[in-house]
Amino acid sequence: MELNLKKPIIFFDLETTGINIAKDRIVEISILKVFPNGNKESKTWLVNPEMKIPKEASDIHGITNERVVTEPTFKELASQVSDLIKGCDLAGFNSNRFDIPLLAEEMLRAEIDFDMKNRVAVDVQVIFHKKEQRTLSAAYKFYCDKNLDNAHSAEADTNATYEILKAQLDTYEDLENDIKFLNEYSTHSKRADFAGFIMFDEDEDEIFTFGKYKGKKVLEVLEKDKGYFSWIQNADFPLYTKKVLTAIKLRSFNNKLG
């Protein structure tokens, strides 16, 4: 089943130096852009992460320091990536928890703004786990009856994810061929930031999900503990989390002025 799209959607996958969203860097990014008329555009870049790639990471994706030493940095590629994904929805495999948060960090480091306003995200892994509880290679075999050669190659994983989503729509009658529906279905909970340090409660108010103020409303914490905002801004939190917290604080300040 082909996707029913109202605007282009970007399937993408990242290979990285590790899994720490705040510290690790992209070493490969592959993008598959699917248009409403079914046309496709793809691009894959190796990226110099400007840091050493740990052996345990290279053992997984096969990308070594020697392979990327002469490749462009993400900052050099960021404007191209931004132009390619502009005005598009996003999709990936485990993308809500990892790829989108890390991409946002890289964009912000490159001084290019990034947010999810006017776009939605579909996490194919969440759909798969809700339906079958398995991994990407198993999903590819299960839905497409194909072996995933070159697993952990960003390009192979990206194309496999696109094929899996189409096969999932063929397999499950209750899945609507609508990107907004798939976004809601593939989202575990509503996050204010990508990394999940700040989420929304049942009243649609932002709450902290960690530390001594876990479960507490952000605005109440910032009002009560004046130093907590500065502590987060100076600690090892993702840049996007800091951006969201700043926006909440500014919103509160503007409301008081109003």
pLDDT, tens digit, 9 for 90 and up, residues 209-219? 999 999 999 99
Q: What is the pLDDT of residue 64?
A: 96
Distance CA 111, CA 107 (A): 6
- Total number of domains constituting the chain: 2
Q: What is the pLDDT of residues 89-110, one digit of tens each?
A: 999 999 999 999 999 999 999 9
Domain of 202 in residue numbering reads as 198-257
Q: What is the pLDDT of residue 254?
A: 74
Tell me, yes or no, whether 174 and 213 share the same domain: no
Residue 2 lies in a domain: no
Round the average pLDDT of the chain to a whole number and report it. 93
pTM as predicted: 0.73
Residue 193 lies in a domain: no
Tell me, yes or no, whether 56 and 179 share the same domain: yes
Which of 185, 216, 240 is the last residue in one of the domains? 185
Tell me, yes or no, whether 99 and 131 share the same domain: yes
Tell me, yes or no, whether 180 and 203 share the same domain: no
Is pLDDT at 239 greater than 90 in this prediction?
A: yes
Distance CA 44, CA 63 (A): 14
Which of 135, 156, 185 is the last residue in one of the domains? 185
Tell me, yes or no, whether 160 and 225 share the same domain: no
Binned at pLDDT 50, 70 and 90, residue 133 comes out as low
Residue 4 lies in a domain: no
Distance CA 81, CA 247 (A): 25
Residue 41 lies in a domain: yes
Domain at 82, CATH number: 3.30.420.10
Percent of the chain topping pLDDT 70: 98
Is pLDDT at 205 greater than 80 in this prediction?
A: yes
Tell me, yes or no, whether 235 and 153 share the same domain: no
Q: DSSP class of residue 98?
A: I
Tell me, yes or no, whether 89 and 58 share the same domain: yes
Distance CA 30, CA 43 (A): 6
Residue 112 lies in a domain: yes
Q: What is the pLDDT of residues 36-74, one digit of tens each?
A: 999 999 999 999 999 999 999 999 999 999 999 999 999
Which of 150, 185, 220 is the last residue in one of the domains? 185
Distance CA 195, CA 191 (A): 8
Is pLDDT at 134 greater than 90 in this prediction?
A: no
Tell me, yes or no, whether 93 and 150 share the same domain: yes
Greatest Cα pair distance, the chain, in angstroms, is: 60
Q: What is the pLDDT of residue 187?
A: 80
Phi first, then psi: give them for residue 58, nearest 5 degrees: -60, -35
**Residue by residue, what is the 3-state secondary structure of 81-96?**
HHHHHCCCEEEECCHH
Q: What is the pLDDT of residue 258?
A: 59
Q: What is the pLDDT of residues 138-165, one digit of tens each?
A: 899 999 999 998 888 999 999 999 999 9
4: helix, coil or strand? coil
Tell me, yes or no, whether 125 and 166 share the same domain: yes
